[in-house]
Structure 1
Amino acid sequence: MPEPASRAASQAGGALDRLLDRLDAWVPSPAALAFAVRIWIGMMAALYLAFWLQLDSASSAAVGVAILAQPKRGQAISKAVYRLLGTILGGAVSLLFLALFGQDRVEMLVAFAAWLGLCVFVAQYLQDTRAYGAMLSGYTVAIIAVAHLDAPQTGFDAAVARLAAITLAIVVITFINDALASPSTWRALRPQLAGAHAAVQAFCREAFATGDPGVERAAALIARIAPMRADASAIAGELDDGRYRAAGARSGIAALYAMLAASRAVARARAELGR
């Protein structure tokens, strides 16, 4: 009798564990829930302020908060800065195109295609939010200039309204992140950088001891290091000395790449000399 009872108890325990695993998959983590609450509060605040300020497109402010939603404070600030710069540049180009090619569809579309191609070309050489800003300055021309081709006199008002909505979204998301203690990027990056440094050190020791560990191992380490480049750039807006910390983090990441390349080169040279 004890064996069937113990078997039934173990089966019941296994079923309970599976049920708890499924519930864990559905229930969000506290960090994810806090992030969702912050963004919801930010969107509602932006929408309220946009109606109070009587902006032409109040919903654009709420959408702007959602677009700028990032889990860490530095990431949101970095994206907000380049979104603002991209909008200003795109708005200026839009007004220039409306002045030069007003009500001329062919010339406007050719100019827009050339500008968009230039923005895509520049974005390919940039990274992270800088590439996002380059792309934003491209399609902002479509939102302002191309959409108001038949009424170029309204282009300036459209550019001002879009810039006002984006500025309001930036102010709101920055205030919400500070007021509700959004996680800092540099606190999360520091242990990641230390772990990547330890992994690269182990790779170098193995390369010197037994030879080149192989391109697969190197590629795996590069895939681990590369995402930290975005967080390193985002540190600049978080602290008073953020730009110096960001420069140090970028230098450390570059040094990790150099260590990988140098260790593999030394391992290959030793292999060639030993033949």
Structure 2
Amino acid sequence: MATASAVADELPEAMAAVLVAYERHLVSERDLTPHSVRAYLGDVAGLLAHAARLGHEEPTSLDLRALRSWLAKQQTLGRSRTTLARRATAARVFTGWLARTGRSPQDAGALLGSPRPHRTLPPVLRADEAAELLQQAVADADDGSPLGVRDAAILELLYASGIRVGELAGLDVDDLDRGRNVVRVMGKGRKERTVPFGVPAARALDRWLTVGRPALRADGAGPALFLGARGRRIDQRAVREMVHRRVAAVPGAPDIGPHGLRHTAATHLLEGGADLRSVQELLGHASLATTQLYTHVTTDRLRAAYRQAHPRA
């Protein structure tokens, strides 16, 4: 991961120092993942570099005009509304930290607005497509191939639980409670949650643990639940490639990866009558507003079915 000190060389001394301190805050105090730290630092470094070009030498001189100028520059470069919204959030979090820690007399970003991102409906599998995906994977696993058995277990668990691909790759064997059919997941911000899964997933996981994993396991596997082709903890990229390949074999299915299966699980839960709060807890969303996106998905599917079926649609 690129560190703050590696990107601060071209900043004024005071700006560079505060960027390094902010990295320590993100890593040590907020305990963010390396990916999140990298994203925040990249946005804030860009903001500070723009402010420096405007003549700001100290973080104390940052003001709302400089922040808006930075976002306007991003817009002229063709950045999407979603990117602009994310960077505005990064700026507000940063200036809030500056004010809280006494590094700035005021929170320059408190009044900074951000464009509403276009919320596109994520592609999801229909229930029959999801069933065919899993049936094919289970059938392929009947030959006893360790990788086939693993793929079936991964697909069943992703669809049953709606967990993220990073959460799946980080699972250890002890995270499974096979008696209660639940899995302990470490989510974003290192927040732990317990997620249930059904009988088909339990069968696939049992077969993986008793037949597939012992055959594939190599030195260095440690407690990892899922293993790659070389017998060590599976990489997220390998999971993504497998899911895309397996979904591509389902006629008419949209091209989705593990995150698409997460969308699919949430959509099918809501279509089946699950309440929004339960789905929020299952997915590990910090905000209910994030989970509400899936209500738009189900409404859109209902509207499409209505237009197709009702004679006066």
TM beyond 0.5: no
For the pair shown, the structure with the greater C-alpha radius of gyration is 1
TM-score (norm 2): 0.27
Higher helix share: 1
| Structure with bigger RCO (C-alpha 8 Å, 6+ apart) | 1
